[in-house]
Amino acid sequence: MIGRLNHIAIAVPDLQKAMGKYRDMLGASVSAPQALPEHGVTVVFVDTGNTKVELLEPLGAASPVAGFLAKNPDGGMHHVCFEVPDIAGAVRHLVAGGARVLGDGKPKTGAHGLPVLFLHPKDFDGVLIELEERAV
């Protein structure tokens, strides 16, 4: 069901600093910051050729990433995102199998303007999984 690894997301305490390190020290191409108020984050994408690294910084008081950074003040790996061709079908299959979808269970629009949703990390060995609908 899942396709390509679209990105690995890392929560960071300071997005400008993190961007600078990926750009200047690691020599990577880094996108401009994008605010996603619906998700409570500001993101940039680092192009690594075969996939991307998403750097996330909390946006707003209710940001889900603020709690993560309170527990991991230096930052850390936050989620992995897999592409799926049919997100509604994927949700039906996952829920039937006992997996929990976060939030109201309905996809939201993600950083790439495509439908995304998140699966409960307790159902996937402690890893938060994002699914992004993308035609294969």
In degrees, rounded to 5, the angle at the alpha carbon of residue 129 between the alpha carbons of residues 95 and 92 is 20
Closest separation between CB of residue 131 and Co ion, Å?
A: 10
How many Å apart are CA 59 and CA 39, to the nearest integer?
8
3-state secondary structure (DSSP) of residue 85: coil
Say whether residue 84 binds Co ion (CB under 5 A): no
Say whether residue 130 binds Co ion (CB under 5 A): yes
- Span of 28-36, 47-55, 68-76, 92-100 interacting with Co ion by CB under 5 A: 47-55
Closest separation between CB of residue 6 and Co ion, Å?
A: 8
Tokens 């495509």, residue?
Answer: 114
What letter represents residue 55's amino acid?
Answer: L
Active-site residue among 54, 57, 83, 130?
130
Say whether residue 9 binds Co ion (CB under 5 A): yes
Our answer to whether residue 130 is catalytic in this structure is yes
In degrees, rounded to 5, the angle at the alpha carbon of residue 90 between the alpha carbons of residues 86 and 95 is 155
Say whether residue 87 binds Co ion (CB under 5 A): no
18-37 footprint of Co ion as x/- string (CB under 5 A)? --------------------
Half-sphere exposure of 14 (CA within 13 A, CB side): 6
* Chosen residue from 41, 53, 59, 81 binding Co ion by CB under 5 A: 81
Closest separation between CB of residue 95 and Co ion, Å?
A: 21
For residue 105, give every residue at least 6 positions away whose Cβ sits within 8 Å of its Cβ, in sequence order, or none.
91, 95, 117
User: Rule CB under 5 A: which residues touch Co ion?
Assistant: 9, 54, 81, 130
Q: Which active-site residues does the annotation give?
A: 130
